Structure 1
Amino acid sequence: MNIALFTETYLPYINGVVTHVKSLKDGLERAGHKVLVVSADINTHRHYIENGVLWCPAKEFKRFYDYGLASPVSLKRLRMIKRFKPDIIHIHNEFGVGLSGIAIAKILKVPLVYTLHTMYDDYLYYIAPKPLIPVVRRFSHRYFRFLGKRAAAITGPSPKVQEFLSECGVAKKVNVVPNPVELDKFQLECVDQEKVKQIKEKYHIQDDELIVCFCGRLGREKSVDVLLDYFAQTVDRADKIRLLVIGEGPSRPELEEQARKLKIDDVVTFTGKVMHDELVNYYACCNLYVTTSLSDTNSISMLEAMATGLPVLHRFDKLNEGQIVMGVNGYIFYDAEEMYSQMLKYKSLSDEQKLALRHSVIESVKKSGQENLAHYLLDVYHHLEVENENHSKRHGKKRKLSVFELDVFHHGDQDKEE
C-alpha cells in the first residue's frame, strides 16, 4: 500500500505526535509499505521531497507548540501527492496540513483516516483569553464535528477520544490504537552509566534517595501545579524523596515560583529541556514516574519511562483506566495522601521485589512497539481499502480534477515559479 501521513510537525521537533508518526512510518515500511509524510517547514518557500517527507512552506506559530502553519491549499502539493498515488491518507493534526489532507483525499477519492491525539478543550487557553473560552469551545467542537464527519475511520490512543468527539457531536466509533514507544531507544542496554553518574552529580542525587520524575511540556494542561501541591502537603524531608521535573514550557517560571512559595524547592528540581536521546539516562537516575495530568490520552513520555523499567504513579482517570495496573506496572492514586502512601510502599520493597516490579513494567510495554502500531492501523487501512474498491466498482473510477478545484488549489499555492 501507498500511505500518506499528514502532520503539522515532524522531525527534528520532538513531541508525542512526531514520535507516533515516526514510529508508524517505520513500522509500515518494515512491513513492506510505501510511506510519504507530509509536513510543514517554516524555512522553505517551495514544496520539496526529502527522505520520504514532503515539506510544505509554512509560517511560524510559536503560540501553540511551535507548529508551523502551512496553507491548506496548494496545487503543487496536490500534484506531488497525486504522483505518489496514495491508497490511504491519514491525518494526525487539524490545521493547514491536516485540512489539505482532507481536501486531497476527497479530490482523489482516497479513504481518509483521522487520528485525534490531543484533548483540545484543555489547550484553548493558548489561543483565547479566559472570558472567551466558552465561545471558542463551541466553535472548536463544531470544527471537530466537521473533521469527524469527513473521516472514513477515526482512531485515538484512549477511550477519552471517543468521549470528546461524542461531546462534539461525532457519532462514529473511535478505534482505540495505543501510542507507541521506541523500544530500541528506551531499554536498559541503551543506558550510558557514565552519563548517569554525571547527571546524579549535577543534581546532587544521593544513592539513598527515592527519585520520582515527571517528563513533559510544562503547560497548564499537564497539572504539574497539582503535583507540587500534593508533594508539599505530604512529603517530609526525612523521607528522602525528591521530585525531578524534566522538560520545558510556558508554565515553568510560575511552577518554579510555586515550589519556592511551598518551600519545597530544595527537594524539587527542574531540569529544563532534555534532548530526546538523553532521556533514557535521566530515567535511569530515577525510581518512579509520576503524573497528575488528566489531559493526556496515553502519554508517550510515560511509556518511554516504563520501557526503561520505571513503575508509574498515576492520578486516577476513569477514561484512561487500564493503562496502569496496580502492582503490575505501577500504582493509582486519588489524592495527595494516596500518592504519598504509594511512594512509601514502593520504598519499603526489598531489592528483589523492586527488580521484579521493574521487569514487570518493561514486559507491560513490549507490545507498544512500531510493528504493533503498524499492525493495528493496517487492519483499519485494509478494511477501508476493500470498502473503497467496492465503492469504485459500483460508481466508477477516480474522477479528474474539476476546474473549480484546480482554481482553488492554484490560488492557495505558495510555491514560487522556478
Structure 2
Amino acid sequence: MKEVAIGVKCQNIRNFFKGLKVCVASAWYPHANNPYHCIFVHDFAKRIRRAGAKVFVFTIIHSREDKKFEMWDNIPVLRVKVNTILSFFNPFKFLSFFKVFNKADLIHVHAIDVFGAFSILIAKLIRKPVVVTVHRADVLPSNSLFLNILRIIAFKVVDAIIAVSKATKKLALNVGAPANKITVIYNAVDETMFTPRSKSLCRQKLGLPQNSKIILFVGNLIPRKGVEYLIRALPIILTKIPNVLLVVIGDGPQRNELEHLAKELNLEQNIVFTGRISTEKLCLYYGAADIFVLPSLHEGHPMVLLEAMASGLPVVATKVSGNMETVIHGKNGYLVEPKNAHQLANAIIKILSERKQISKFGKASLMIYRKKFSEEKQICKIAEIYSRILRSKF
C-alpha cells in the first residue's frame, strides 16, 4: 500500500499519484466491436496515468473478438466473461475479481450497474478502498428489484461516490446514495488533443470548403441525441445562411433513418455523415467547425460539449441536465428547448450570422472550460478523494 500524505495539494499531484496502483473497473469500456464504446472511461484511465498513477483496467468480454488481456494506449486491460447475474456467484469468477483487485491500492469503479455494484462489494470484502463514479444512466430508477437492492448495498459500503454533474447527483440520491459520500466532479478532456486549431488548415486537411459555415454534431445516432431536430432545423437555417454544411460524426441504429430524412428534405448537399472516426481526425473536425450543436433529449455530463469548448467553439445545446451546467446561456452559446427545431435554428442563426459572434462565443467557451472543467481541476479533486479514503484505511 502506498504511503499517504496528510492531505494533497494540486501542485503535488504527481508526487501523490506516483506509484499508486489504481484499478479502473467498469463494464462500460471500449471493445473489439466498438472501440469508441464509453470511451470516456478509457480517457479517465489515461488521465490518472498521466498524473502519475499505475493504472490497469478490469472490464467484461463483450464478444469472441475480445481478448482476456490486451493493451489499450499502453494501459493493461483485463477482461472477464460474465454473461448473467448468476455468473457473479460463480466461485471462479469471484476468484478472477479477487486476483485483479488484490493487485491494486485502490479500486475506481465507473457506473453502478450489476458489474459495478458487484465490483464494489468484492473490493470491500477484501478490504480495498473503493470509489464509484456515476454517470446518469446507471442511477436512473430501475424496474429490477434485484438491481435496486444491490445498488443500495453498494452505495452503503463504498468509500466515496463521484457524480459527473449536479443533476446526476440528484438522481443518485433518489436511488439510495448517501448524501455525505457524494462529490460532484465534472468530466474533463485531453487538452493536448482538444485545443483551438487553425480553421483553414483543418478544413484543408479534411477536404472541407473554406467558405462554408460548418455546424458540427458528435455522438451516437440514437433517438435521445435529438439529431432529427437538428436536421429539421437546417432548412430554416439555410433561408438565412445559404452556405451551411452540417457534419454529423458518429454511428448508431438511427443512421439510416436520419440519412433518409436528409434526402427527404433535399439536404444531401448540406449534410455529411462521417460515421465513427479516430480521435485524431475528430480533433480536426472540431478545429474546422464554426459551431457545435448538441440537441439531446437528456444527458449526464456530455464529453462532446467539453471537447467543443476546449477547442474554442460556440455551442448550442438543449435545456437538459448536464448541458445546463456546462453552457452559459448568452455567453458561450445558447440553450434551447429539446425537440424544438425552430429554437435550434434561431439560436444557430444568431451565432453564425456574424463572424464577431462566432469569435466572441468561442473565446468564452474556452475560458469557461479552463476555469471550471480543466483536467487539472478534475485530477486535483480526485486526488483529494483518493487521499482521504486511503488515509482512513490506516
Q: TM-score range by the shorter chain?
A: 0.7 to 0.9
The Cα of 1:218 is off from its aligned counterpart by 0.9
* Aligned mate of 2:364, from 344, 357, 360: 360
Name the residue aligned to 1:151. Answer: 158
* Aligned mate of 2:53, from 33, 43, 60: 33
Name the residue aligned to 1:2. Answer: 21
* Aligned mate of 2:237, from 226, 231, 235: 235
Sort the Cα spacing of 1:111 and 1:354 in 2 relative to 1 into closer, same or farther, 3 A: same
Contact 2:164 2:185 in 1 (8 A): yes
The Cα of 1:371 is off from its aligned counterpart by 3.2
Contact 1:90 1:101 in 2 (8 A): no
Contact 1:210 1:287 in 2 (8 A): yes
The Cα of 1:318 is off from its aligned counterpart by 5.0
CA–CA distance in 1 between the matches of 2:139 and 2:96?
34
Name the residue aligned to 2:173. Answer: 166
Name the residue aligned to 2:111. Answer: 93
Give the residue type in structure 2 aligned to 1:328. Answer: K
Q: Is the counterpart of residue 278 in structure 1 residue 281 in structure 2?
A: yes
Contact 2:130 2:159 in 1 (8 A): yes
Contact 1:158 1:320 in 2 (8 A): no
Name the residue aligned to 2:78. Answer: 55
Name the residue aligned to 2:133. Answer: 115
Contact 1:11 1:18 in 2 (8 A): no
Equivalent residues, number: 361
Give the residue type in structure 2 aligned to 1:269. Answer: V
Using CA pairs below 8 Å that are at least 6 residues apart, which structure has the higher relative contact order?
A: 1
CA–CA distance in 2 between the matches of 1:49 and 1:213?
32
Superposed CA RMSD in Å reads 3.5
The Cα of 1:324 is off from its aligned counterpart by 0.6
The Cα of 1:147 is off from its aligned counterpart by 3.8
1:259-338 matched pairs, under 5 angstroms: 259-317=262-320, 320-334=323-337, 335-338=340-343
The Cα of 1:105 is off from its aligned counterpart by 1.2
Long gaps (5+) in structure 2: 1-19
The Cα of 1:194 is off from its aligned counterpart by 5.6
CA–CA distance in 1 between the matches of 2:321 and 2:353?
28
CA–CA distance in 2 between the matches of 1:109 and 1:347?
56
Structure 2 residue matching 1:309: 3-state secondary structure: coil
TM-score by length of 1: 0.74
Sort the Cα spacing of 1:225 and 1:91 in 2 relative to 1 into closer, same or farther, 3 A: same
Contact 1:216 1:247 in 2 (8 A): yes
Contact 2:229 2:295 in 1 (8 A): yes
Give the residue type in structure 2 aligned to 1:294. Answer: L
Sort the Cα spacing of 1:321 and 1:382 in 2 relative to 1 into closer, same or farther, 3 A: same
Q: How big is each residue's C-alpha offset from its partner over 1:221-250, in whole Å with a ceiling of 9 and x where there is no partner?
A: 212223333445x33445223322111111
Q: Is the counterpart of residue 22 in structure 1 residue 43 in structure 2?
A: yes
TM-score by length of 2: 0.78
Sort the Cα spacing of 1:18 and 1:242 in 2 relative to 1 into closer, same or farther, 3 A: closer
Name the residue aligned to 1:380. Answer: 385
Percent identity of paired positions between Structure 1 and Structure 2: 22
Name the residue aligned to 2:6. Answer: none
Bigger shift: residues 12-21 or 375-384: 12-21
Q: How big is each residue's C-alpha offset from its partner over 1:94-142, in whole Å with a ceiling of 9 and x where there is no partner?
A: 45753452233122212221111242588xxxxxxxxxxx984666555
Q: Is the counterpart of residue 186 in structure 1 residue 194 in structure 2?
A: yes
Q: Is the counterpart of residue 226 in structure 1 residue 234 in structure 2?
A: no
Sort the Cα spacing of 1:345 and 1:312 in 2 relative to 1 into closer, same or farther, 3 A: same
Q: Which has the larger radius of gyration?
A: 1
Give the residue type in structure 2 aligned to 1:55. Answer: L
